[in-house]
């Protein structure tokens, strides 16, 4: 019984770590996108649309 509880605890810990890494990945993508957008300036045509579309395509993968 204790072994089963330990296995479940390990599974929950790994699932939580995977979810945290997933969220941190999207935060990093968003921060880099915002930095790139600010660094190039809003006057450059199509930057917002191009990166927005790339993020949309990446989100469809999985």
Q: Which domain holds residue 42?
A: 2-59
Query: What is the phi-psi region of residue 47: left when phi exceeds 0, alpha when psi lies from -120 to 50, beta otherwise?
Result: alpha
| Residue 36: predicted pLDDT | 79
pTM above 0.75, yes or no: no
- pLDDT tens, residue by residue, 5-62: 999 999 999 999 999 999 999 999 999 888 877 776 655 555 555 666 667 777 776 5
The Cα–Cα gap between 55 and 44 comes to 18
Domains identified in the chain, total number: 1
Q: Other C-beta atoms within 10 Å of 29: how many?
A: 15
């Amino acid at each position: 019984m204790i072994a089963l509880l330990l296995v479940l605890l390990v599974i929950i810990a790994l699932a939580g770590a995977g979810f945290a890494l997933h969220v941190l990945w999207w935060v990093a993508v968003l921060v880099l996108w915002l930095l790139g957008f600010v660094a190039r300036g809003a006057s450059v045509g199509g930057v917002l649309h191009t990166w927005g579309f790339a993020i949309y395509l990446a989100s469809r993968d999985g």
